[in-house]
Amino acid sequence: MKVTHPFHPLFGREFELVTYKKAWGEDRVYFRDDKDRLHRMPVGWTNVEVPDPFRAIAAGRCCFKTDDLLKLADLVSRLTSDESGKRKGNDAASVKINTPRKAKKKQVSRGKFMQNSLKIRRLGTRRV
């Protein structure tokens, strides 16, 4: 295996691959240096390629993966679905115009004002 990450101190050096496994949530390669110390690094930093099981079985006979085709089918169905009976267009003719209206001031009678202020005073004097 060869280290291909341009900023890694071992860039360009070749080592014998000890093992390949998943660690810390990603695929890693394990190798020993000249002093027989075990090292590990992400597969993406080396020239080791993970064989895709689908591509290995398809042997070049299929251009698309099953997962990609299923995602495409979902996307097409979402784009062509007619859930509300009428699709909303993205042009200016389909945009609803909302004009702001002046808010009417609510008139509070003096009697109501006094009742509310008395309620507030009573609530403030309650002991808990």
Q: What percent of the chain has pLDDT over 70?
A: 62
Question: Can you spell out the DSSP letters for 33-79?
Answer: -TT--EEEEEGGGBS--PPPHHHHHHTTS-SS-HHHHHHHHHHHHHH
The predicted-structure confidence for 69-79, as pLDDT tens digits, reads as follows 889 999 988 88
Token digits for 90?
A: 């993205």
Cα 58 to Cα 62: distance, rounded to the nearest angstrom: 6
The predicted-structure confidence for 40-51, as pLDDT tens digits, reads as follows 999 989 998 776
Q: Which residues 6+ apart lie within 8 Å of 7 measured at CB?
A: none
pTM above the 0.75 mark? no
Q: So what's the pLDDT on residue 12?
A: 92
